[in-house]
Amino acid sequence: MSVASPRSRQAVCVLMATSATLSSGPSLALDKAACAAAAEAGQRLRNRGQLVAAREQLIVCASPECPQVVSQDCTGWLGEVQRSLATFAVRAHDASGAPLHEVTVSLDGTVLPETAPTAPIEVDPGTHVVSCAHAGFAPSERPVLLAEGERGLAIDCELVALGPAAGNGPPVATDARPAPVPPSSLAAVPAPIATPRTSVPWVVWPLAVLGAAGAAGFVGFGIAGRNEENALTCGPYCTTEVDPAKTKFALADISLVVGAVALGGAALVLLMNASPSSAVPANASASGAPAARRQGLPGPP
């Protein structure tokens, strides 16, 4: 974290203003090694994004006391660094919007010499954490993203007043805005009672019709076969007259089997589709307490 305060800017101005006087005394002039070291450190800090620290080094190597080639390079780099620095200003107020003065401002955990409301503060671009603190108020903290070259970003810092301490405990933050009033009572919502399904699958109907037809066929063919048998005049060995009666008896048996299978299938489908009726649980009384809990509402004591 790097930040340039007004004091550091004043020191920079003094350094630049007095650099011309250094040439009068050879013992005070910057040597080549110091100029080269400042130029190298400034470039290294600049590449890391530490622009405020890089500027301090580039100011040194941009001095006229340094070799001309070094001074010219540092002067160009110094201008680029200055244009890339970001600035922000803090405006502090309470929960009602009234401005607060003499608010302590911290940047990335370091307390700044300036207090809010502040003039623009120069910092390295990137993400920072700005904190505000004032006596009688809960501290406030917020992250801030500053783009390269962004200038004059206004940081809104809202502080909540602390209420009176209870006993020996710490003060409690109170919000000036009124809290919503909860409803006086909430009616318990009764739980829905499940009812058994009464719909009949469509396949039951054709099976029932087929079963009824089989039963009717059994009765009809059986009666017809019995009549044929009673009408025989040549005895039981007359093949020509006995065959029709046997055929009707066989058809009666087939009808009986088909009807029984169809009716059994219909009954099986009904049993598989039927669901037991859902009775109301014993603990779901008229008070509606379980339903109230399912709705997230307070039940009766």
CA distances from 300 to 9, 175, 188, 193, 289 (A): 69, 32, 9, 20, 6
* Cα 259 off chain centre by: 63
Q: Who wins on pLDDT, 132 or 6?
A: 132
Does residue 62 register a pLDDT over 60? yes
Are 53 and 44 in contact by the 8 Å Cβ rule? The answer is: no
Predicted confidence (pLDDT) at residue 138 exceeds the cutoff of 90: yes
For residues 176 and 60, which has the higher predicted lDDT (pLDDT)?
Answer: 60
- Lowest average pLDDT, out of 62-71, 140-149, 222-231, 279-288, goes to 279-288
Structure tokens at 179: 């809290």
DSSP 125: S
Decide if 110 contacts 174 (C-beta within 8 A): no
Per-residue model confidence (pLDDT) at position 290: 46
Query: What is the model's pLDDT at position 57?
Result: 95
Residue with tokens 């499940």: 194
The pLDDT value recorded for residue 301 is 45
Average pLDDT over residues 43-65: 93
Range of weakest confidence among 109-123, 227-241, 262-276: 227-241
Q: Does residue 171 sit in helix, strand or coil? A: coil
With a pLDDT cut of 90, the percent of the chain lying above it is 29
Q: In this model, does residue 235 exceed pLDDT 60?
A: no
Dump pLDDT digits (tens) for 112-132. Answer: 887 877 788 889 999 999 999
What pLDDT, on the 0 to 100 scale, is given for residue 234? 61
Give 140's DSSP letter. Answer: E
Q: Are 77 and 45 in contact (CB under 8 A)?
A: no
91: nearest Cα among 52, 58, 119, 126: 119
18 Cβ contact list (under 8 Å, min separation 6): none
Segment 30-42 shows an average pLDDT of 91
pLDDT of residue 291: 44
Handedness of CA 203, 204, 209, 215 (dihedral sign): positive
Amino acid at 5: S
Residues 113 and 5 sit within 8 Å (Cβ to Cβ)? yes
